[in-house]
Amino acid sequence: MDTKPNDPPLAGRRILITGGSAGIGLATAKALIDRGAKLALMARTEGRLEAAAEHLGAHAHSFAGDVSNEEDAARVVAAAAEALGGLDGLINNAAVFYGKPLEAIGAPSFRKLLDVNVVGPALMAREALPHLREAGGGDIINVSSTAGLGGGPNLTAYSASKFALRGMTMCWQAELRRSNIRVTLVNPSEVQTGFGSDKGPRPPEKPNKLFPHDIAHAIVGAIEMNRRGYVPEITVHATNPW
């Protein structure tokens, strides 16, 4: 990739973000565009996705799809690579939340969560891999959670999915480093996005708790690092959320 001395730090970098229509995904998209990247966004809700792409302007393409659907994963990655002229990065941010006590767990909801949070990132990475190799290397960022580092009440399904994502990330790190593909796991603590909440009004934002742009800052920092090194895992906590 040809860059000039005065170019932004990620000038021309071509990145696909899943779950890109809101929250951490949208905040990361804004931060990457500010640094010169070209983006493709993927999300399930077409209306929100189109609104996000319109807000970001000409630097972002949008493709609706479900990461856990094999045909959607293949279609969106191919379309994103065509629109951007290739891929240098994939940010696996799409996820769903399912919080129930053990005695209330239902198999269909548990399986759907695992499909989106575990199978989905694997399908997207599998489809992106040939494009990253063709580019000579790249970045895969898996957005996980501190729930993948430890359990808690009512988190059986969600923690299981995030522990699995952490294990997959380690496997990909071992497999892909010789292809100059860096794989980083990002573990946010509670972020004020409304993720996992019901459809009711969101509580007022608290300035001492984490915002989506705080996690975007960590993601962008990992991508901006000189390619001779990489950060295997980043965990972000609020300093004083109490």
Q: Give CA angle at 166 (161, 170), nearest 5°.
A: 145
Q: Are 157 and 111 in contact (CB under 8 A)?
A: no
pLDDT in tens, 72-101: 999 999 999 999 999 999 999 999 998 999
Q: Which class is 14-192+205-236 in CATH?
A: alpha beta
Residue 3 banded pLDDT, cuts 50, 70, 90: low
Could you tell me the residue ranges of all domains in the chain?
Answer: 14-192+205-236
Count the neighbouring beta carbons within 10 Å of the beta carbon of residue 96.
20
For 228, phi then psi, to 5°, come to -70, -15
CA 216 → CA 11, 29, 94, 133, 163, distances in Å? 17, 8, 14, 25, 21
Count the neighbouring beta carbons within 10 Å of the beta carbon of residue 74.
15
Residue 178 banded pLDDT, cuts 50, 70, 90: very high
Does pLDDT of 238 surpass 80? yes
Q: Which residues carry out catalysis?
A: 158
Mean pLDDT for the stretch of residues 186-200: 77
Q: What is the pTM of this model?
A: 0.94
Does pLDDT of 149 surpass 80? yes
Radius of gyration (C-alpha) of the chain in whole angstroms = 17
Residue 13 banded pLDDT, cuts 50, 70, 90: very high
Give dist(CA 20, CA 112) in Å, integer.
Answer: 20
Does pLDDT of 1 surpass 60? no
